[in-house]
């Protein structure tokens, strides 16, 4: 494998649900200060920041919605100005949209790793992009999709769809974004829609003093926080802010090493959002993979979702510090 420069892998394990932005915004949102989602070709070195060359995003569409919607992808191919080349561009990325039974409820669908039936459900659309210039800095649209094609999940009152991006060939980095839209030719938010994942790989802004803002939701069962990061390797900090924590520092790693730290969750922090800041002082392109799990008192660990927007059932528990 070829060596990828100026990258780091960041694995963050937290007992909570992650909130990124208000409902109906792009994925990732502007308020999170995340540059792009990232997926590398499956021949890339893991030090690029992508641990499994696959990214799964779930989308919740209100049950009451009857009108069709579209899933739009910005710059879906590899080989353009946003992407990260390794010697020469040779990467292909496949996007697939799933709906129907098992899309979300199959246990493998919630795994952080692309194993077993992670691609469960009914395939509704798929397309592979390579080095073509047609969609460089442009949008490709999947759909239309009827909300009834999703899998209904009563706990959230939504129909859930799944988008999987896979680096099926090559060793370059593909930078892209999604938008859940009312129209095929324009980004018009689908109101009360939201998106989440069990693991995300993202790129930080390519500028000094970058700060990514993450807002994990701490529920009643959360008792502590464990974070681990690998090869951070740049100047910066990882800090938590809440009613109890004032820029509480978390461990960060050096190049080629791991760092871990445990942090207690107090009662005053439960049923509220915590603000986590990831800051870097370097002007290099850093990629991060991170995920969260939760462990309550006497309960087994389980993965929880990152959310772009949030279900209406959490609307009364969303204070931000």
pLDDT tens by residue, 6-62:
555 656 554 444 555 445 568 987 778 888 999 999 999 877 878 899 999 999 999
Distance (Å, rounded) from C-alpha 255 to C-alpha 258? 9
Separation between Cα atoms, residue 226 and residue 260, nearest integer Å: 7
How do 306-308 and 17-19 pair as beta strands? parallel
**Structural domain boundaries of the chain?**
9-317
The pLDDT of residue 216 is above 80: no
State the residue for tokens 């073509």.
132
pTM above 0.95, yes or no: no
* Contact (CB, 8 A) for 30 and 21: yes
Least confident range from 13-27, 136-150, 219-233, 264-278: namely: 13-27
Q: What average pLDDT does the structure give for the chain? A: 83
Parallel, antiparallel or unpaired: strands 92-99 and 122-129:
antiparallel
User: What pLDDT is stored for residue 167 in this prediction?
Assistant: 98
- 3-class state of residue 297 by DSSP: coil
Predicted confidence band of residue 314 (pLDDT cuts 50, 70, 90): low
Q: Which of 245, 177, 235, 231 is CA-nearest to residue 211?
A: 235
* Residues 6 or more apart whose Cβ sits within 8 Å of residue 243: 268, 269, 272, 321
Query: How far is 125 from 14, CA to CA, in rounded Å?
Result: 33
How confident is the model at residue 169, as a pLDDT?
A: 98
Query: What DSSP state is assigned to residue 64?
Result: T
Ramachandran category for residue 102: left, alpha or beta (phi over 0 → left; psi -120 to 50 → alpha): left
The tokens for 122 are 């009914």
């Amino acid at each position: 494998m070829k060596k990828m420069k100026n990258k780091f892998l960041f694995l963050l394990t937290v007992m909570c649900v992650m909130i990124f932005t208000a409902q109906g915004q792009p994925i990732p949102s502007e308020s999170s200060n995340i540059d792009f989602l990232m997926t590398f070709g499956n021949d890339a070195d893991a030090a690029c920041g992508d641990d499994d060359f696959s990214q799964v995003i779930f989308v919740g569409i209100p049950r009451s919605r009857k009108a069709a919607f579209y899933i739009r992808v910005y710059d879906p191919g590899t080989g353009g100005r946003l992407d990260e080349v390794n010697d020469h561009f040779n990467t292909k990325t496949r996007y697939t949209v799933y709906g129907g039974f098992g899309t979300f409820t199959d246990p493998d669908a919630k795994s952080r790793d692309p194993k077993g039936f992670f691609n469960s459900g009914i395939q509704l659309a798929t397309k592979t992009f390579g080095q073509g210039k047609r969609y460089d800095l442009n949008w490709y649209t999947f759909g239309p999709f009827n909300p009834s094609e999703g899998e209904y999940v009563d706990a959230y009152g939504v129909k859930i769809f799944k988008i999987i991006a896979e680096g099926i060939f090559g060793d370059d980095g593909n930078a892209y974004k999604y938008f859940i839209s009312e129209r095929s030719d324009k980004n018009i938010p689908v109101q009360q829609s939201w998106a989440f994942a069990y693991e995300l790989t993202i790129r930080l802004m390519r500028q000094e003093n970058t700060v990514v803002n993450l807002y994990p939701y701490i529920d009643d069962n959360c008792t502590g926080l464990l974070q681990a990061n690998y090869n951070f390797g740049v100047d910066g900090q990882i800090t938590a802010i809440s009613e109890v924590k004032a820029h509480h520092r978390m461990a960060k790693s050096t190049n080629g090493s791991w760092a871990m730290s445990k942090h207690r969750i107090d009662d005053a922090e439960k049923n509220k959002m915590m603000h986590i800041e990831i800051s870097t002082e370097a002007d290099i392109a850093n990629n991060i993979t991170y995920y969260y799990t939760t462990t309550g008192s006497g309960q087994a660990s389980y993965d929880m979702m990152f959310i772009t927007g949030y279900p209406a059932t959490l609307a009364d528990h969303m204070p931000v510090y």
